[in-house]
Amino acid sequence: MSLRTALLFAASLLCARAGAGEIPPSERRSGYDLMSRETRAMQDDDATNPGMLWVLDGETLWNRKAGAADRACSDCHGDARESMKAVAARYPAFDAALGRPVNLEQRINMCRSKRQKAPPLAFESRELLALAAYVARQSRGLPINITIDARTRPFLEAGREAFFRRQGQLNLACAQCHDDHWSGKLAGSPITQAHPTGYPLYRLEWQGLGSLERRLRGCLTGVRAESYPYGAPELVNLELYLMWRANGMRMETPAVRP
Amino acid sequence: MSLLAGNAFAADSIPASLTGAKGDPARGRAIVANRQVGLCLLCHSGPFPEERFQGNLAPDLTSVGARYSEGQIRQRMVDSRKVNPQTIMPAYYESEGFVRVAPAYRGKTILSAEQIEDVVAYLATLR
């Protein structure tokens, strides 16, 4: 380990020690564990899980030809149940051409423009959420598996730095709620440890499916901080850090949350 | 009543009203109970039977007026970091020194001086 990474590592430990600290692996909990029995039952049964409507739409879109190339996702990737297995569990992943990590939605859009010669789908559009939910569904039950190497480490560190930074008019860091107070309640809501195990997921409050970035923008707005546009590098860095922090936890897509 | 609770360190109390006048406890109660204005019940609970969802990240506000003087309450409202640098309680009367504040709130305090005085007057009645 170089002196610089050693210092960064020491600094991150100090950061973590300042509050209650980063959550030890044995104490990690999915948001699922903090939900009511009814909401858990809704997630568990495909017949009642509203997210399955998006997954079914996604399957249709997967097989539908699109763009000037007149090709479907399945023309290149075949059966998603085989080819997309465990894929979402390792996103955000490094893209060599861009020289930075991209999230699953961005990867889908890159395939659209490069391989299908179709215009990119808007973030949070029904189609993009459906495709992302269908792909991520193929990781359900599999462990999150982010590997960090020399190329991705700086982005992970940037995400971690953002997680521990106090920000906004309320001057709160993500870690102050999600590491230090996850067992508490903010107004009536259990806070959770912010493990992104189930995205895109159906949120009762949204009455619809939404991406991890939508959730992050919500928390940023909550502390009255300036938000970032969808797809912004800062959001993807945070996603990378959160997924890495949840390494080994099981994917739940499409999850349900209050 | 506050002589006992009054710790001697400098930043524990702001004795003088921010406006020079006394606040209105009824308006103060409304501010504390309002999730968009005071935000207090996100973290605190208190004597608000009509409010179903209250937080549990901070001490209950019932009887806070018996534990602290008005000056001590004012200090905690204005900038609680002076009492506890690690606190998660927002500084309600500070507008500078924050990071990445959303444009709508930039350069502004969470509550005005009048609102702080209303809240102080209300909390002082909780004993």
Interval B76-125: pLDDT, tens: 999 999 999 999 999 999 999 999 999 999 999 999 999 999 999 999 99
Q: Do A186 and B55 touch (CB under 8 A)?
A: yes
Name the pTM for this structure: 0.91
Q: Which of A185, A184, A179 is nearest to A163 (CA)?
A: A179
Nearest to B55 among A165, A187, A226 (CB): A187
Cis peptide leading into B25, omega within 30 of 0?
A: no
End-to-end CA distance of chain A: 42
Mean pLDDT for the stretch of residues B44-57: 96
Domain ranges within chain B, ordered by starting residue: 25-125
CATH of domain B25-125: 1.10.760.10
A14 touches chain B (CB under 8 A): no
Domain ranges within chain A, ordered by starting residue: 3-45+148-257, 52-137
Chain B stretch 50-89, residues whose beta carbon is closer than 8 A to a beta carbon of chain A? 52-57, 86, 88
CA A228, distance to chain mean position in Å, is 15
Predicted confidence (pLDDT) at residue B10 exceeds the cutoff of 90:
no
pLDDT tens, per residue, chain A with 258 residues? 444 444 444 444 333 333 446 788 889 999 999 999 999 999 999 999 999 999 999 999 999 999 999 999 999 999 999 999 999 999 999 999 999 999 999 999 999 999 999 999 999 999 999 999 999 999 999 999 999 999 999 999 999 999 999 999 999 999 999 999 998 999 989 999 999 999 999 999 999 999 999 999 999 999 999 999 999 999 999 999 999 999 999 999 999 999
How many Cα atoms occupy the beta-carbon half-sphere of A137 within 13 Å?
23
A165 touches chain B (CB under 8 A): yes
Residue A191 · residue A218 · CB < 8 Å? no
Residue B50 · residue B57 · CB < 8 Å? no
Summary mean pLDDT of chain B: 93
B102 touches chain A (CB under 8 A): yes
SS3 (DSSP) at B31? helix
pLDDT of residue A22: 78
Give me the CATH topology for the region A3-45+148-257. Answer: Cytochrome Bc1 Complex; Chain D, domain 2 (1.10.760)
Domain A52-137 has CATH 1.10.760.10: yes
Give the Cα-Cα-Cα angle B10, B15, B20 (nearest 5 degrees): 140
Cβ within 8 Å of residue A6, ≥6 positions away: none
